[in-house]
Amino acid sequence: MTVERRKFLKGAALAGAGAGIASPAIAQSAPEVKWRLTSSFPKSLDTLFGGAELFAKAVSDMTDGKFQIQCFAAGEIVPGPGALDAAQNGTVEIGHTALYYFWGKDPTFAFGSAVPFGLNSRQQSAWFYEGEGTKLFDEFLKSYNVSTLPAGNTGCQMGGWFRKEIKTVDDLKGLKFRIAGIAGAVMQKLGVVPQQIPGGDIYPALEKGTIDAAEWVGPYDDEKLGFNKVAPFYYYPGWWEGGTTLHYLFSIEKFNALPKAYQAILRSACAQSFQDITGRYDARNPGALKRLVQGGTQLRPFPTDVMEASYKASVDIYKELGAKNPAFQKIHDSHMAFRGDQYLWWQVAEFGFDNFMIRQRAKGF
């Protein structure tokens, strides 16, 4: 046996002994943990609720099953809009939701998901991960006893389903439109009558004519909910949701009580969930849009005057809200400054490339 081989075997033996001694300590630092997550979304939406299931599986896989998170759909523990309260009061350890659902508590919540003419999906991701987004929201949410991490992004959403064609701003007057939050306030300035209706009640409301229009997410989810069967016109873009971010809300007390390794695993699983949900939408929306159009859906862009009037109304709303809400103004200023720098860059490479490629596709190349 060579000297080198004896050294190798001796080293391996010592390493093995060290591993044997260390394993009990490792086991002690990985306790059995069982948490509950309540989602604002139904199980039928495999993009949204499915993202929470992927998150829980990732946490389990990374802890050899020692950290289990049981996922509950909207209504199983609390109604969908109750996710924040449930995490805040300790009914569950995690709420899975879209922060703009809590606009009624404070309009500042809207920046956690999407605001009219705000950031697109990649910009929103950059603001949360590399900009001030997560830091500012943790400061804002401290009084609610929760902290937050991004859970995914739907990408730019559609403008919704309409029973009649929209040709000018005047066509919006008196329109009963299922739309809420800041977007609803903006639309109200243009004569729309905003309606707040849960996702599961949109179809019958459109079918019966109780409402004239409704927005939800985009082709893949909208097709699942069957809106194309009760409204012929499908408008774009959803200028109020250029890149809608979903979030996990963690009870601060429960999160801080976890071992540091488990906290790191939760952060990693959130990042994986974010990537999974965004990828699912990007991959599935094109096919769904093709099927909808082939089935008779009439795809329409919002007229330019509607877009411009909506933009002006949005700026007015921001000024009104910021004047009486310092938290809103602080996050608004960060969000919009980030948007300005992003589009300074976006108009160069990203838009230049995308615009060229879209023209080539139109030529059949």
- Evaluate whether 177 touches 194 at the Cβ level (below 8 Å): yes
173 lies in a domain? yes
Omega before residue 237 within 30° of 0, cis: yes
Q: Do 192 and 233 sit in the same domain of this protein?
A: yes
User: What pLDDT score was predicted for residue 28?
Assistant: 54
148 lies in a domain? yes
Q: Do 257 and 134 sit in the same domain of this protein?
A: yes
Exposed/middle/buried for 256, CB within 10 Å: 0-12, 13-18, 19+? exposed
Q: Do 211 and 72 sit in the same domain of this protein?
A: no
Q: Do 198 and 135 sit in the same domain of this protein?
A: no
Q: Do 261 and 212 sit in the same domain of this protein?
A: no
Q: Do 78 and 191 sit in the same domain of this protein?
A: no
Q: Do 87 and 171 sit in the same domain of this protein?
A: no
Enclosing domain of residue 253: 30-155+243-283
User: What pLDDT score was predicted for residue 29?
Assistant: 66
Q: Do 225 and 255 sit in the same domain of this protein?
A: no
Tokens matching residue 201: 């009640």
Neighbours of 284 (CB within 10 A): 17
Q: Do 121 and 142 sit in the same domain of this protein?
A: yes
What are the beta bridge partners of residue 245? 153
Q: What is the domain-level CATH number for residue 138?
A: 3.40.190.170
Which pTM does this prediction carry? 0.89
What is the four-CA torsion angle of 86, 90, 91, 93, rounded to 10 degrees?
A: 80
Tokens matching residue 135: 């830091």
In 3D space, the residue among 108, 110, 100, 115 whose CA is nearest the CA of residue 339 turns out to be 115
User: What pLDDT score was predicted for residue 82?
Assistant: 96
Q: Do 60 and 130 sit in the same domain of this protein?
A: yes
Tokens matching residue 42: 């139904």
Residue-by-residue DSSP string for 284-342: HHHHHHHHHHHTT-EEEEPPHHHHHHHHHHHHHHHHHHHHH-HHHHHHHHHHHHHHHHH
Q: Which helix (H) or strand (E) holds 231?
A: none
Q: Do 147 and 67 sit in the same domain of this protein?
A: yes
Q: Strand 233-236 to strand 160-162: parallel, antiparallel, or no bridges (unpaired)?
A: antiparallel
288 lies in a domain? no
- Evaluate whether 187 touches 177 at the Cβ level (below 8 Å): yes
Q: What is the domain-level CATH number for residue 205?
A: 3.40.190.10
The structural domain count of the chain equals 2
In 3D space, the residue among 339, 359, 365 whose CA is nearest the CA of residue 118 turns out to be 339
Where the chain has pLDDT below 50, the residues are 1-27
